[in-house]
Structure 1
Amino acid sequence: MTDVDTSAQTLKPARQLAGQPPRFPGESADYRRARNDLLAEEIELRRHIERVAVQRRALPPGGVVPEDYRFDGETGPVTLSEMFGEHDTLITYNWMYGPQRARPCPMCTSLLSAYDGEMPDILQRVAFAVIGRSPIEKLVAFKKERGWRYLRLYSSGGNTFNRDYAAEDPAGDDNPALNVFTRSNGTVRHFWAEEMGPASADAGQDPRGAPDPMPLWTLLDMTPGGRGTDWYPRLDYPNVPR
């Protein structure tokens, strides 16, 4: 599947594309009517996601990164520019596992566990770095405990990256942050960051981004109960082998 700019195309009406006949055993006419109404909305949502992606890719050049931050990597010191490897795009995720935490954030961990499985595919296209303020030994110890195989971990305990790009207070708690950087002709620039959070959340809703980067919530949103309001991921579950 490739990125397609649908803004200049003549699209068929969503209602026309959603005109499905009965498809599944036992479904009623009322169900099919309501399902087709929903399908039309899902088609419109897909189109809006595509329009937003086109707008995102058309952003003007972002700010030049103020310094080539130096991190502690799993095999030694690494600079931000070195994290790109052979790629011209780098995605970074700020993991909420600072030195004040005995255990990492369960939500971050759930997200990163999903990304670990996708990482061999992701790394074909872009570089990806997981950054936390705890010492690298602490980050790696949890990586081994969790069974992560592909995530590349870096400690930012000796620089201001988390403060600059995750709005963290060095003396306070962690913030999650998803950032994208680009490199061209030796210059590293900030391209985009997930900026939706508690301040922009709608009443009664999780302060999530759009599209939601959490595979967990995307799947639960397809179920009758949805994501609910009284449940969040945990680091461990009884009687569930890892």
Structure 2
Amino acid sequence: MATQTSPARPQLKPAIELARANPVRFPNESAEYREARTALLAEEIELRRHLERVAQQRRELPPGGVVPQDYLFEGREGPVRLSGLFGGHGTLITYNWMFGPKRERPCPMCTSLLSAYDGEMPDILQRVAFAVIATSPIARMTAFAAERGWRYLPLYSSAGNTFNRDYAGETPDSGDNPAFNVFRRESDGTIRHFWAGEMGAGASDPGQDPRGAPDPMPIWNLLDMTPEGRGTDWYPKLAY
């Protein structure tokens, strides 16, 4: 039996060579600034390449586990099974929103993330299915969505099933956990788990918040471009 191999990757020019060929210059910049910026550009090119390699490695994962059941959720329009969340797509992304019934208000960090995704959702849904899942009743979820001004996020309550326990590691004592999961529906209808964000607190480096790579929160990526960076003592709030 022939062994399947990944396609050969093209030979790439050295990142520093590409960086030095960059023609961009700005008014009154010093030679010292340009030298440092060119070195940084080379690192940025290498980072982009590494992200591409990681994405390729993710796509080449062996088949994940078959989901243990066709979970029943409650959506805006009524009950829907996990299989129904795919719509016409073969891939489903789920995000576990930290808005369980024990919370008076939802997690501000989750809410900041989802607010950004709401604006992107019409584009995202052209490629894949997406579901925001929480254990609160659907009426409570939709009421907050209206308060926040969300228009496009597909919201589903998992109050009556074990999805959060199975795919977000939640227990009655742990409360609610944030979690990204990706599922794939095969041609015969079998649904398998494809990937999950597993970079939790145990994988964080000293002095850093636990987060994925690339960071899923647009706000942090934007702040990382600034002199102040993301900081160590500021987080989004539900209101200011």
TM-score in same-fold range (> 0.5): yes
Distance 1:47 1:125 in 2: 23
Alignment of 1:3-82 (within 5 A): 8-19=9-20, 20-21=22-23, 23-82=25-84
Give, in angstroms, the shift of residue 22 of structure 1.
5.9
Alignment of 1:147-226 (within 5 A): 147-184=149-186, 185-226=188-229
Other-structure match for 1:240: none
Distance 1:146 1:228 in 2: 25
Other-structure match for 2:98: 96
Deviations 1:56-92 (A, max 9, x none): 0000000000000001111100100000000000000
* Structure 1 segments of 4+ aligned residues over 6 angstroms from their partners: none
Does the 8 Å CA contact 1:63/1:189 hold for their aligned counterparts? Answer: yes
Q: CA RMSD in A?
A: 1.2
Query: What is the DSSP-based 3-state SS (H/G/I as helix, E as strand, rest coil) of the residue aligned with 1:18?
Result: helix
Query: What is the DSSP-based 3-state SS (H/G/I as helix, E as strand, rest coil) of the residue aligned with 2:50?
Result: helix
Gaps of 5+ in 1: 238-242
Letter in 1 for 2:9: A
Q: 1:159 to 1:22 in 2, by over 3 A?
A: closer
Other-structure match for 1:235: 238
TM-score (norm 2): 0.95
Other-structure match for 1:111: 113
Query: What is the DSSP-based 3-state SS (H/G/I as helix, E as strand, rest coil) of the residue aligned with 1:67?
Result: coil
Other-structure match for 2:3: none
Give, in angstroms, the shift of residue 103 of structure 1.
0.3
Query: What is the DSSP-based 3-state SS (H/G/I as helix, E as strand, rest coil) of the residue aligned with 2:171?
Result: coil
Letter in 2 for 1:55: Q
Deviations 1:21-50 (A, max 9, x none): 560001000000000000000000000000
Identity of aligned residues (%): 73
Does the 8 Å CA contact 1:6/1:50 hold for their aligned counterparts? Answer: no
Number of residue pairs the alignment of both structures matches: 233
Distance 2:23 2:165 in 1: 54
Does the 8 Å CA contact 1:107/1:234 hold for their aligned counterparts? Answer: yes
Q: 1:76 to 1:230 in 2, by over 3 A?
A: same
Give, in angstroms, the shift of residue 170 of structure 1.
2.8
